[in-house]
Amino acid sequence: MKKKGKTGNESVRVIPLGGLEQIGMNITAFETETSIVVVDCGLAFPEDDMLGVDLVIPDITYLKDNREKVKGFVITHGHEDHIGSLPYVLQELNVPIYATKLTMAIIENKLKEHNLLNFVKRKVVTYGQYINLGDFRIEFIRTNHSIADSAALALYTPAGVIVHTGDFKVDYTPVFGDTIDLARFGELGKKGVLALMCDSTNVMNPGFTMSERTVGKTFDAIFEENAKNRIIVATFASNVDRVQQIINSARRQNRKVVIEGRSMVNIVNTAVELGYIQVPDNMIISLEEMKNYTDDQLVLITTGSQGEAMAALSRIAASIHRKITIKPGDTVIFSSRPIPGNEKSVSKVMNELSQKGAKVIIQDTHVSGHACQEEIKLIYSLVKPKFAIPVHGEYRHLICQGELAQEMGVPKENVQILSSGEVLELKPDSAKVVGAVQAQGIMVDGLSVGDVGNIVLRDRQHLSENGLLVVVLTLEKGSNTILSGPDIVSRGFVYVRESENLMDECREVVNIALDRLYDRGITDWGRMKTEIKDTLNDYLWKKMKRNPMILPIIMEV
């Protein structure tokens, strides 16, 4: 990258396309006159009002409009909220991906599933390595998180250095690998950092986040207390260090380990192959081999710690798993905290397990992968940024980190709280929002991307709350005389067999409406449908204070 003389015109634009005002769907574009690099490309899971939606992915319209400038995706770590959208986005914007070893292996699993592996350029990056992408030079810095090979990024731009922490914590005793490279953060701080984009997930929690290694001692104690029982542990598939600690505790009791849940099997296989999980030979067995062992010789590691309907543990709890049945005496450990919004689903699974005689344990078998206040302060004190741009959090988290940045010496006017889609222009001495781009989430339903929008969701909401009435008419071609009908079909509105009188009254209401139209000589189908809808709506609201979706269908013979 050529060093430009400081003319005061150097600038870089920071454009978050997701990941603000929410936990999830992290994706940020960094743009100069000739280049764009994109950090992360995550997905979000649907909110309660997104009926039937499977995933939410970022809107990359701005990137597609500027595709000739986009140099690549730079990925901080392998969690779904940072890599989950890549298979969808790469189909529309095929640019190279840069990531650390384990992160890339997890991405490759996803690309394989979507038949994209042979079409996408990939480069594995090591800590301390620089990559040059257009106007940008990017350095990967070692951090700790709840998945190995996590990285922070230093982006060297024409306007100055921007440090992006990714998701991180400061873990002095990590289960795998080395501790976070605080020295490098300090070196960057001494040379001068223009802006810090720091993880805000746990910013409201005082103190420090506990080391992941503390969980291992808790597992040892629980395994000792339940030495005669079969043990089932539910955790996040991507928490490779947690899986390692469960395997360590199982090894001390000479137990065999069964891995269950598609995402868990994929990630554990990848991590074992690459050496990120150490497992003694023949310790992991298949579901079919379980019958050869007694309860005190088995540990099952499964997905479903968040109560997800189709995850392994939920299916086991609901007795719909093909090969695993809960029996009295089983010990089930939830090694995670419910993500906000998932509490009801988790409670439901816990209750179902308890009803079947299982002992459910939720004590101290989880620590967060995100930094609390003191660790965030440590990063600010090392990096000494001129501008603070809080990321990865809901609005309240971003505000809280803005206040913490001010405590650490960042002037109030230099704290930039952005919304997804806003364009922040950074210069060596200034930062201001200069516009906005399209940045709404795009909904994925089954195999369809983007064909479910607000209108479809509104219809689904209406149907779910009020049900459906279909009015069917058959007209004679040419004369538009009614040959049969109106027939009325009801779904989710009333139970038809017990509401025959109501159906007869509805038919009568439709007949009267049609007679009115014929008297005025109106046989236009559009007008007929509108009249049927309006008249029936008025009638049902007056009679029942309910307004089902009314769907008139007119056929011609």
Q: Does the N-terminal peptide bond of residue 548 adopt cis geometry, omega within 30 degrees of 0?
A: no
Residue 370 is among the residues annotated as catalytic for this protein: yes
| Cα angle 157-150-271, degrees, rounded to a multiple of 5 | 140
Q: Does the N-terminal peptide bond of residue 158 adopt cis geometry, omega within 30 degrees of 0?
A: no
Could you give phi then psi for residue 377, rounded to 5 degrees?
-60, -40
Retrieve residue 504's tokens: 């007869």
Name the active-site residue from 40, 81, 199, 241. Answer: 199
Name the active-site residue from 145, 370, 392, 397. Answer: 370
| Cα angle 157-162-164, degrees, rounded to a multiple of 5 | 130
Retrieve residue 219's tokens: 């597992």
Q: Any idea how long the chain is?
A: 557
Residue 199 is among the residues annotated as catalytic for this protein: yes
Give the 3-state secondary structure of residue 148: coil
Task: Please report where in the chains the tokens 């319209």 appear, as a residue.
Answer: 61
273: exposed, middle or buried (Cβ count in 10 Å: 0-12, 13-18, 19+)? exposed
Task: Please report where in the chains the tokens 């929690």 appear, as a residue.
Answer: 205
CA 341 to chain centre: 13
Amino acid, res. 156:
Y
Alpha-carbon gap, residue 122 to 348, rounded angstroms: 42
> Of 191, 194, 189, 149, nearest to 168 (Cα)?
149
Alpha-carbon gap, residue 153 to 140, rounded angstroms: 5
Sheet of strand 482-491, all strands in order from the earlier edge strand to the far edge: 482-491, 468-475, 549-556
- Contact by Cβ (8 Å): 486, 510: yes
- Contact by Cβ (8 Å): 166, 177: no
> Of 237, 226, 302, nearest to 268 (Cα)?
237
Give the 3-state secondary structure of residue 3: coil
Phi-psi region at 319: left, alpha or beta (left = phi > 0; alpha = psi -120 to 50)? left
Alpha-carbon gap, residue 98 to 167, rounded angstroms: 17
Handedness of CA 519, 524, 527, 528 (dihedral sign): positive
CA distances from 105 to 149, 404, 517 (A): 11, 36, 67
Would you name the residues annotated as active-site residues? 199, 370
